[in-house]
Amino acid sequence: MSKHPGSAQTVESAPAPKPRAPASGSPATGRACGLEVISLTKRFGDFTAMDQVSMKVRPGSFHALLGENGAGKSTLVKCVVGYQQPDEGSILIADREQQVRSPREASMLGVGMVYQHFTLVPHMTVAENLIMSRIDTPQFINWRQARVELEAFMQRMPFRISLNAPASSLAAGEKQKVEILRQLYLERRFLILDEPTSVLTPNEADEVLGMLKEMCRRGEVTVLMITHKLREVKAFTDSVSVLRAGRYVGGGDTDDLTTEDLAELMVGERQPPAAESRAARGAGRTVLEISGMRARDDEGVPAVRDVSLSVSAGEIVGIVGVSGNGQKELVEVLAGQRHAENTGISVQGQPYRARRSEMIRHGVAILPEEPLRNACVPGMTVADNMAFRVFDRAPYSFMGWLRNGQRRKRAQELIKAFGVRTPGAESPIGKLSGGNVQRAVLARELTGDVRLLIAANPVFGLDFKAVREIHDRLREARDNGTAVLLISEDLDEVLQLSDRILVMYEGRIVYETTRDQAQVRSIGKHMAGDHA
Amino acid sequence: MQAGTLFLHARRAGSAAVPPVLALLAACVLFSLFLLVQGISPSAVFGNIYDGAFGSWFSWQNSMQRAAPIMLTALCVAITAKLGLIVIGAEGALVLGGLGAALAGLALQGWLPPLGAQVGLLLAGAVVGGLWIALAGALRHYRGVNETISTLLLTYIAIAVLNHLVEGPLRDPASLNNPSTFPLDWNVMIGEIPGTTIHWGFGFAVVACIVCWVLVNRTTFGFAARMIGGNPQAAKLSGIPVGRVLLLACGLGGAAAGLAGAVEVAAVHGAANSSLAVGYGFTGILVAFIARQNALAIIAVAILLGGLEASSGVVQRRMDLPDATLVVFQGIAFLCVLASEAIQGRLRMPQLLRPREAV
């Protein structure tokens, strides 16, 4: 978090404040105000999340911010709304340089944000939710007066929502509209939306985006929308900026850019690494087969809509996709952590219901994302956590009795073999660092006869060395004949490791290619929902 | 190495004991304030509590006798707590276990030898109590019903069922003041440990605590239970049959509480009646929390709380204080223990007592 006072800022803080009210800007503007960022940089430790990003959003335009996971989009908007402070660079709101130190300051400047997930209080009515969100909510609310004002406000809005309806009774699209209404009620002139349509059906999405477009056209507000969906970009927005790996890589008027151009900007011109010079493996026996899996997410919305795939011995199949397209639920069903309407899983030709006996018989291992949360008991010791797969088998137990000595001895061997840095086998695993927790889980899952390995974002949040180590382990498992299913949000990781690549979008596998024929551009297109 | 592990265990046990001990001391201070406000000398009250609970061999025996059902109901709370459940309905399992034991005893006496009838009635009590809490476990696992609320409500149902039956269909017409079932024969009653006036129920309870500790800490079942309690997601990932382990643990906990009811019937009352529901199940919650769900610690804490209950008569007589005074003390103690759990990890423990941090 090194701050460099006065490096880039001194250059940019010079422009004389123009004595011009934001409302009387260019002819297209009503109340809407523009945004410009100049050489914005943000570092987290050694990692540069955003590197010298400069871009401009015209007042009254509907602007899309495109990029893969981790491209720096969230960092950019967090700096604009004051959740984070940029290390370098400057932010101009309505042509004035501003230091946005907190979300409250951003809202004073008329900048507001709508999040991916709803922030309404479910049991309160729409009216109450709106009033409550005001910074200056009085101690005592004169409801009669407030209601008159609210109704007058609603009259000016392009759509109506019953003020008396409890938020919990609204459909997803209506909730999203109330979120947007609330920003307008708070008199925001610049709106940032973080994947506003990820929780909406396509029809709801079209309605909400159409309404936003109309409001931009009338100059009431400027919209900056983070999205992954090229279709929405093409259909609704005026202009677009693309970030990749923390840098601004291009953009312009939406009309001048094709979806191919956008996909290429998003994923870059990476070539999949040349096929390794190994003797061509004959496709091994099919180990994992899924046919027609369907499962719902925590809210009961279908998340995995119809997934069929197969993984053979000795290959890595990578599933890539923007997060939130059902990958998490797919992994949870495979791991036995989520009930599915139709699992359709078979392993080595036999139906598989993620029972312990089946896991042992078929040699199934799972590396879930966030291992401390999904695969460990933080309060139990490292030795105990390493024994989850074997504690009830000889020689670690005898007739239902635990043999602590055996368990500890095995843990000590694994700690050494996998280089887990821990004060001892008897320390609670919750006290270890992320990389060491992952190593401990890796040691547990990869020891023994593993014929099917399912890995979900296995290197998320780990440092370079740990990443390489874990990737080597996955390759090694593959070379030893294990069938590996890798689910990742990181396209580079999938390209690097996989023999076959599948793209998951809205709960379905929409594209499949082999590594040799992989074209990054078409993978990117499918990740962004363009299946033409 | 061996001595080292032993030292480690001792230190761990020591540091685990600190918060509840501090909480109990805080409760004593608050209770003293409560007494001072009324113009009563705290030292006199604490002196009498000590006399009544542990002042003589006689009072020791009385305390241990009362500790037996408290230990067993505390086990019900502690075993289920290992799975992350908060079961507060041991009272209900105790009541129905007692009723089941009385009925089994009445049915078996006469055509089985006394020992057989005794075994039968104890088993019956355990089975009924086990099914009762397993029911709450099933509601939780299959229907998502909060087990804390369901066990509390099931307790009221259990007490109502008992009262209905002993005042109606199962009533012994000879029981006038206190409607009861027919009494058990003297020879199926559970006797005293030789050389004492403590009934065998105390022995059963101590054995049950030891068995429970071994079960939780030394068996694969206990290991699976701790996995579920620590992180159900991780348990599912390892293919642990969560539902089965949960139902079994609830059944075992309920069986302990049901056994407490059976002992009360077969060693104290001789019949099932409303005297079964005197709050041992609720004292058990307090004991389990003070003992931090450790089955061995429950033995000691239950004797302490048993002593407190045993001394209530002495305090009442000598100090002319209402019966409820010591209930107030229990309530304060419970709040202090819960508060100490809540602030755990937020207050810094003295360096000496803190387990070594990971590097």
The token duo for B90 is 């041991």
Contacts of B3 (CB under 8 A, 6+ apart): none
Q: Is B226's CB within 8 Å of A357's CB? A: no
A389/B contact by beta carbon, under 8 A: yes
Averaged pLDDT, B123-127: 97
A455, A484 contact by CB (below 8 A): yes
For residues A509 and B220, give the distance between their C-alpha atoms in angstroms, rounded to a whole number.
Answer: 40
Whether residue A395 is preceded by a cis peptide bond, meaning omega within 30 degrees of 0, is yes
For this complex, say whether ipTM is above 0.90: no
Q: Considering only CB atoms, which chain A residues are within 8 Å of B230?
A: 377-380
Alpha helices, H only, A8-64:
9-12
A23, A30 contact by CB (below 8 A): yes
Whether pLDDT at B83 is above 70? yes
Instruction: List, in sequence order, every residue forming a beta bridge with A373; answer none if it has no partner.
Output: none
Q: Is A388's CB within 8 Å of B234's CB? A: yes
A370/B contact by beta carbon, under 8 A: no
Map residue B139 onto helix, strand or coil: helix
- Closest Cβ opposite residue B233 in set A355, A359, A374: A374
B327, B321 contact by CB (below 8 A): no
B339/A contact by beta carbon, under 8 A: no
Q: Considering only CB atoms, which chain A residues are within 8 Å of B233?
A: 337, 373-375
Structure confidence at residue B351 as a pLDDT band (50, 70, 90): very low
Averaged pLDDT, B28-38: 92
Is residue B334, in this structure, part of any structural domain at all? Answer: no
Helix axes B42-54, B295-319, angle to 10 degrees: 120
Q: Residue A350 class from Cβ within 10 Å (0-12 exposed, 13-18 middle, 19+ buried)?
A: exposed
Map residue A449 onto helix, strand or coil: coil
Alpha-carbon gap: A369 to the closest alpha carbon of chain B (Å): 12
CA B133 to chain centre: 14
For residues A475 and A481, give the distance between their C-alpha atoms in angstroms, rounded to a whole number.
Answer: 10
For residues A292 and A304, give the distance between their C-alpha atoms in angstroms, rounded to a whole number.
Answer: 9
The DSSP 8-state label assigned to residue A402 in this structure reads E
Is residue B148, in this structure, part of any structural domain at all? Answer: yes
Nearest to B214 by CA among A386, A404, A387: A404
For residues A463 and A45, give the distance between their C-alpha atoms in angstroms, rounded to a whole number.
Answer: 11
Place of tokens 């939130």: A324
The DSSP 8-state label assigned to residue A176 in this structure reads H
- Closest Cβ opposite residue B220 in set A358, A389, A392: A392
Strand A96-98 to A247-253 pairing: unpaired
For residues B231 and B235, give the distance between their C-alpha atoms in angstroms, rounded to a whole number.
Answer: 6
Element holding B25 (H helix, E strand): helix B2-37
For residues A294 and B42, give the distance between their C-alpha atoms in angstroms, rounded to a whole number.
Answer: 67
Element holding A397 (H helix, E strand): strand A397-398
Q: Is B358's CB within 8 Å of A422's CB? A: yes
A38 backbone dihedrals φ, ψ, rounded to 5°: -125, 120
- Is the four-CA dihedral A149, A154, A155, A161 of positive or negative sign? negative
Q: Considering only CB atoms, which chain B residues are within 8 Å of A392?
A: 220, 223-224
Integer CA distances (angstroms), A280 to A514, B51, B101, B241, in order: 13, 86, 73, 41
Contacts of B327 (CB under 8 A, 6+ apart): none
Most confident of A26-30, A271-275, B324-328, B346-350: B324-328
Q: Is A373's CB within 8 Å of B233's CB? A: yes
Nearest to B184 by CA among B172, B194, B201: B172
Q: Is A377's CB within 8 Å of B231's CB? A: yes
Element holding B27 (H helix, E strand): helix B2-37
Map residue A48 onto helix, strand or coil: strand
For residues A25 and A327, give the distance between their C-alpha atoms in angstroms, rounded to a whole number.
Answer: 45
Nearest to A372 by CA among A427, A328, A467, A437: A437
Is residue B45, in this structure, part of any structural domain at all? Answer: no
Q: How many domains does chain B have?
A: 1
- What residues does each domain of chain A span? 27-124+172-266, 285-363+450-532, 371-448
Alpha-carbon gap: B6 to the closest alpha carbon of chain A (Å): 13
For residues B166 and B176, give the distance between their C-alpha atoms in angstroms, rounded to a whole number.
Answer: 11
B219/A contact by beta carbon, under 8 A: yes
For residues B116 and A261, give the distance between their C-alpha atoms in angstroms, rounded to a whole number.
Answer: 86
The number of C-beta contacts closer than 8 angstroms across A and B is 80
- Closest Cβ opposite residue A402 in set B223, B231, B235: B223
Nearest to A184 by CA among A124, A127, A130: A130
Instruction: List, in sequence order, every residue forming a beta bridge with A191; answer none if it has no partner.
Output: A112, A223
Q: Is B231's CB within 8 Å of A373's CB? A: yes
The token duo for B287 is 């004991």
Alpha-carbon gap: B215 to the closest alpha carbon of chain A (Å): 9
Nearest to A77 by CA among A240, A196, A194, A244: A194
Map residue A226 onto helix, strand or coil: strand
Instruction: List, in sequence order, every residue forming a beta bridge with B180; answer none if it has no partner.
Output: B273
Integer-rounded Cα radius of gyration of chain B: 21
Mutate to test the interface with A, among B9, B223, B244, B245 (most CBs of A within 10 A): B223
- Closest Cβ opposite residue A356 in set B219, B238, B356: B238
B64/A contact by beta carbon, under 8 A: no
For residues A100 and A106, give the distance between their C-alpha atoms in angstroms, rounded to a whole number.
Answer: 6
Whether pLDDT at B79 is above 90? yes
B223/A contact by beta carbon, under 8 A: yes
pLDDT digits (tens, 9 = 90+) for B196-225: 888 999 999 999 999 999 999 999 999 999
CATH superfamily of A285-363+450-532: P-loop containing nucleotide triphosphate hydrolases (3.40.50.300)
- Closest Cβ opposite residue A366 in set B8, B221, B237: B237
For residues B350 and B22, give the distance between their C-alpha atoms in angstroms, rounded to a whole number.
Answer: 13
pLDDT, residue B8, reads: 67
Whether pLDDT at B230 is above 90? yes
A88, A264 contact by CB (below 8 A): no
Of 3.40.190.10, 3.40.50.300, 3.40.50.1000, 3.30.70.2520, the CATH number of A27-124+172-266 is 3.40.50.300
Integer CA distances (angstroms), A330 to A42, A323, A451, A456, A478, in order: 34, 12, 19, 10, 21
Range of the domain at B117: 80-204+240-276
pLDDT digits (tens, 9 = 90+) for B144-182: 899 999 999 999 999 999 999 999 888 888 887 888 999
CA dihedral B306, B308, B312, B313 (to 10 degrees): 50
A329/B contact by beta carbon, under 8 A: no
Integer-rounded Cα radius of gyration of chain A: 26
A337/B contact by beta carbon, under 8 A: yes
- Closest Cβ opposite residue A402 in set B219, B233, B239: B219
- Closest Cβ opposite residue A397 in set B220, B237, B358: B220
Residue of A nearest to B220 (CA): A400
Nearest to A334 by CA among B245, B239, B107: B239
Instruction: List, in sequence order, every residue forming a beta bridge with A504; answer none if it has no partner.
Output: A509
Structure confidence at residue B350 as a pLDDT band (50, 70, 90): very low
Integer CA distances (angstroms), A6 to A14, A63, A98, B325, in order: 12, 30, 15, 70
User: From the CB of residue A304, how many other CB atoms can be counted at a distance below 10 Å?
Assistant: 29
Question: What does the DSSP assignment read for B330-350?
Answer: HHHHHHHHHHHHHHTTTSPPP
> Same CATH topology for A27-124+172-266 and A285-363+450-532?
yes
Half-sphere exposure at residue A388, Cβ-oriented, CA atoms within 13 angstroms: 37
Mutate to test the interface with A, among B2, B237, B245 (most CBs of A within 10 A): B237
B93, B235 contact by CB (below 8 A): no
A46, A34 contact by CB (below 8 A): no
pLDDT, residue B39, reads: 87
User: What does pLDDT average to over chain B?
Assistant: 89
The token duo for B107 is 């049915």
Is residue B16, in this structure, part of any structural domain at all? Answer: no
Half-sphere exposure at residue B3, Cβ-oriented, CA atoms within 13 angstroms: 0
B231/A contact by beta carbon, under 8 A: yes
Contacts of A261 (CB under 8 A, 6+ apart): none
Is residue B353, in this structure, part of any structural domain at all? Answer: no
User: From the CB of residue A218, how many other CB atoms can be counted at a distance below 10 Å?
Assistant: 14
pLDDT, residue B358, reads: 35
Q: Residue B176 class from Cβ within 10 Å (0-12 exposed, 13-18 middle, 19+ buried)?
A: exposed
Instruction: List, in sequence order, every residue forming a beta bridge with A242; answer none if it has no partner.
Output: A66, A250
Residue of B nearest to A445 (CA): B238
Nearest to A68 by CA among A201, A243, A237: A243
Is residue B348, in this structure, part of any structural domain at all? Answer: no
Alpha-carbon gap: A428 to the closest alpha carbon of chain B (Å): 9
The DSSP 8-state label assigned to residue A18 in this structure reads P
B1/A contact by beta carbon, under 8 A: no
- Closest Cβ opposite residue B237 in set A336, A355, A384: A336
The list of chain A residues with pLDDT below 70 reads 1-30, 135, 199, 269-283, 464, 532
pLDDT, residue A117, reads: 76
Contacts of A293 (CB under 8 A, 6+ apart): A304, A306, A307, A308, A330, A333, A340, A342, A343, A344, A345
pLDDT, residue B312, reads: 86
B141, B243 contact by CB (below 8 A): yes
Residue of B nearest to A425 (CA): B358
Is residue B318, in this structure, part of any structural domain at all? Answer: no
pLDDT, residue B260, reads: 96
Is residue B189, in this structure, part of any structural domain at all? Answer: yes
Q: Residue B326 class from Cβ within 10 Å (0-12 exposed, 13-18 middle, 19+ buried)?
A: buried
